[in-house]
Structure 1
Amino acid sequence: MSHRELSHYVSDFSRYRVAVLGDLMIDRYVWGRASRISQEAPVPVVAVQHENAVPGGAANVARNVVSLGAKAEVLGVVGDDHDGRELCRLLGECQVDTSQVLVVPGRRTTVKTRVLAANQQVVRIDYEDTEALPAAAYRQLLGRLERRLQSGEIDALILEDYAKGVFTRSFIKAAIALANRYQVLVTLDPHPSHGFNVSGLALMTPNRAEAFVLAGIGYQPGINDPCRDRPLRRVGAALQRKWRVSQLLLTLGAEGMALFGAAGEDPVHIPTRAQQVFDVSGAGDTVMATMVLALLAGAPASAAATIANYAAGVVVGIVGTAAIEAAVLRQRLQEEE
């Protein structure tokens, strides 16, 4: 399939609406310069120049969906705090619908603060509560999800698990069952600490390290040839067997991606398209958003993965959590023609 044909799928993204359910957070950045070491401890002193904040986690996936031209809404929880209100404001500015966000009193909104000097991360500071939600919160989220699915306005449901308390095995099974009942495409970006082994997913997108953990196999590094990488193929087969997922897309950093389809078939290797890599944070969010929209637009799984690979190649060249615009992605695809 030509790159021009791939770009046509991107032009169709605006027809779709995607719901993103998962761990919502703020990615906050403190930018400065470090020219000396502290007298109090052997650490750099960062003279702050400016700060900014963007949606992170599941919120960043929704931000990417909108940036790619589609419509997005989020389901998840925030605290009854300044950060929760700021996150909803940031999402609103990105044109993401936050009407289904649940406020849980007494719970902190998840915030990741990264301190950078000369575009290099010095330290990350996390504010979070990761215990499971109250039972009432799970019931409310499932009720809101079902009402949105019943409306017929949702074309796909993306589940984003960062192990910040939203997902339990019973909750994720219920969410997937609802999506399947209403015949809505449902996908998962899993967390390695949650080996739920649920079924009913159309797509799952772990990275290499996560995939080995989820498969219960000791980690082994790549050999720069995913199709001949026996440990990787063993991991892919194990995940397909355990999770019974239709499409398994393993993101492999500098090695690109490996797409596992039907059991027994050879994986498809999609080489990386990154020209420069400054920051990989949020790249998985971009891959998921782009892959789902390409599938909705009718792209075969291998073509959808190729489009997502180009999108990831753009965002890793930007310092900080970033979203890619549809016009930039189309241009990047057409440049390869």
Structure 2
Amino acid sequence: MREISLPAPGSTAARPRILVMGDVMLDRLIQGEAHRLSVEAPVPIVHQQSESQRAGGAANVAVNLAALGAQVILAGVVGRDREAGSLEEVVREGGVHRVHFVVRADLPTTMKTRIVAHRQQIARLDREAFHLLDADGLAALLAVLRQEIPRCRAVLVPDYGKGVVTPELWSALVELCAGEDVPLLVDPSPRAAATDYRGASLMKPNWTEALRAVLQTGEERPGVEEIGRRWVAASDGGAVLITRGEEGMSLFRPQQPTFHAPARRRDVFDVTGAGDTVLATMGWAMAAGLELEDATWLANLAGGLAVERFGTARIGRRELQRGLAPEGDLEDKLICRDKLEDFLAPHRRAGRRIVFTNGCFDILHPGHLRLLRRCAACGDVVVVGLNSDSSVRRLKGARRPVLSAGDRALVLAALAEVHAVVIFEEDTPAELIAQVLPDVLVKGGDYRPEDVVGRDLVEGRGGRLELIPLRAGISTSRLVEGMYPASATDDPESRSGGEN
């Protein structure tokens, strides 16, 4: 893992002023369930359960920057419609400092509506109109550039090819940024040529865009090094960052060796907006004064985190800091109840067997290890439900737990057999089991099958119960009795699962 020092939280470097100018969009997400096909056509009927709106396009870049701590100015073109108001509300709620929208009555605000059932995208509806920036719109955006660029540490241009980034606007961007020594980063339009962005400090095409823009007719596909060389030649001295999906990212600069940032293994859930996250992180890192190679590493990390989430995602400084920790950082295994489905969904999609067990796990001992190893042998992903401190006190007495829930969770997370630890407040794990919906439910052998909480639910879904024989003569309660006088243990050993 590369060692990178992020600027101190709250420092000037950590809160750079950054201008984002490009094609702004409103993302609308409709989620529901689909259990049958329509009789009218071979399409699923989606029973809508929720609807939400998010920032898209250049607006998504802006809210990603705000999540990192930047002071963000956003400029773009919208229609004279209610969607424009919704988009401005969304970006302001996302922390964008200032919004400059040019309003055109002859255009709709670009909106993309995704219809999702069971976290699978079924359809996407696009409402948009391609346009070239008119004279009034150009004059308004040029005024924004002249006002904002002298006070900025970087300018980001996500060009989705909708017509905002015209040659005239780009020429003005290059001139103003060069005059103020402000880095100019661009995510090229899918239809653009590499030479369309001469003067950029950094261009960030994805692999498909990079290949299409420089591949010659009838030519056998070159390797990434040659593609990168051609883009650098077209950039007029700027750097080129090619994002390559599962191959990571490759940074090309004139007269310097190529820098490759390898991708970490991820469960790809949704690639929506990942490119925006990469551009935002790259821009924030450069504006904060990081070297290009470090900025590339951070952007690669942020893009990997983004694809593990559903819909457009915002990756903040804390997540980057955690991602820079060594592989298998313990805190990554500590899952909140409201984030549990996000953790489990990629595993379900991949067909992995989910195993669940629960207990107090107060002072981990060989009996616990034996139970957890058997859990790992029963499936692919082990989720441990951990009784909270108040739950342990109710079950075990006033002197327990010996270790706090946070400490007990960290100890469990340190075990390779454990993939997730979830703390629950209830006396039984019934609600948590209903949320996890495991394929295998594991308990200690001192239980009778009919007494195991959650058994009916798991077996009713085709899962199974595994009872693991306990090691005689060892339990946390016995260990505690040896540490304190007899009067210190108020309650006898309670049957909350495992050798607790």
TM-score under structure 2 length normalisation = 0.62
Query: Aligned residue for 1:225?
Result: none
1:334 offset after TM fit, Å? 2.0
Query: Aligned residue for 2:440?
Result: none
Distance 1:188-1:111 versus aligned 2 partners, 3 A rule: same
Query: Aligned residue for 2:213?
Result: 214
Task: Report % sequence identity.
Answer: 37
Q: Which amino acid aligns with 1:203?
A: L
8 A Cα contact 2:65 2:281, kept in partner: yes
Q: Which amino acid aligns with 1:213?
A: R
Query: Aligned residue for 2:196?
Result: 197
Q: 2:72 and 2:82 mapped to 1: Cα distance?
A: 23
Q: Which amino acid aligns with 2:95?
A: Q
Q: 1:199 and 1:308 mapped to 2: Cα distance?
A: 23
Query: Aligned residue for 2:248?
Result: 256
Quick check: 1:246 aligned with 2:238? yes
**Bigger Rg, which one:** 2
Quick check: 1:269 aligned with 2:268? no
TM-score under structure 1 length normalisation = 0.91
Q: 1:332 and 1:81 mapped to 2: Cα distance?
A: 40
Q: Which amino acid aligns with 2:180?
A: Y
Distance 1:257-1:14 versus aligned 2 partners, 3 A rule: same
State which of 316, 319, 328 in structure 1 corresponds to 2:319: 328
Q: Which amino acid aligns with 2:198?
A: S
Q: 1:167 and 1:100 mapped to 2: Cα distance?
A: 15
Distance 1:191-1:138 versus aligned 2 partners, 3 A rule: same
Distance 1:242-1:124 versus aligned 2 partners, 3 A rule: same
Listed as ranges, the matches of 1:63-212 within 5 Å are 63-149=63-149, 152-195=150-193, 196-212=195-211
Q: Which amino acid aligns with 2:192?
A: H
Q: 2:22 and 2:48 mapped to 1: Cα distance?
A: 32
Moved more, 91-100 or 77-86: 91-100
Q: 1:29 and 1:314 mapped to 2: Cα distance?
A: 20
1:219 offset after TM fit, Å? 10
8 A Cα contact 1:10 1:294, kept in partner: no
Quick check: 1:278 aligned with 2:272? no
Q: 1:97 and 1:274 mapped to 2: Cα distance?
A: 35
Distance 1:45-1:274 versus aligned 2 partners, 3 A rule: same
Matched residue of 2:90: which SS?
Answer: helix
8 A Cα contact 2:29 2:113, kept in partner: yes
Q: 1:185 and 1:219 mapped to 2: Cα distance?
A: 36
Q: 2:211 and 2:275 mapped to 1: Cα distance?
A: 17
1:301 offset after TM fit, Å? 1.1
Q: 1:7 and 1:90 mapped to 2: Cα distance?
A: 31
Distance 1:213-1:261 versus aligned 2 partners, 3 A rule: same
8 A Cα contact 1:274 1:310, kept in partner: no
Q: 2:166 and 2:192 mapped to 1: Cα distance?
A: 8
Distance 1:219-1:166 versus aligned 2 partners, 3 A rule: farther
8 A Cα contact 1:278 1:317, kept in partner: yes
The superposition leaves residues 78-101 of structure 1 with CA deviations (integer Å, 9 ceiling, x where unpaired) of: 111000010001111112134322
Listed as ranges, the matches of 1:297-336 within 5 Å are 297-336=288-327
Matched residue of 1:258: which SS?
Answer: strand
Moved more, 32-41 or 10-19: 10-19
8 A Cα contact 1:55 1:90, kept in partner: yes
Gaps of 5+ in 2: 330-500
8 A Cα contact 1:256 1:270, kept in partner: yes
Q: Which amino acid aligns with 1:235?
A: I
Q: 2:21 and 2:219 mapped to 1: Cα distance?
A: 31
Q: 2:219 and 2:288 mapped to 1: Cα distance?
A: 36
Distance 1:10-1:267 versus aligned 2 partners, 3 A rule: farther
Gaps of 5+ in 1: 222-228
1:293 offset after TM fit, Å? 1.5
Q: 1:76 and 1:10 mapped to 2: Cα distance?
A: 31
Moved more, 197-206 or 321-330: 197-206
8 A Cα contact 1:274 1:317, kept in partner: no
8 A Cα contact 1:274 1:312, kept in partner: no
Distance 1:86-1:211 versus aligned 2 partners, 3 A rule: same
1:335 offset after TM fit, Å? 3.9
Matched residue of 1:14: which SS?
Answer: coil
The superposition leaves residues 48-99 of structure 1 with CA deviations (integer Å, 9 ceiling, x where unpaired) of: 1101111000000010000011111101111110000100011111121343
Query: Aligned residue for 2:37?
Result: 37
1:118 offset after TM fit, Å? 1.1
Matched residue of 1:285: which SS?
Answer: helix
1:212 offset after TM fit, Å? 1.1
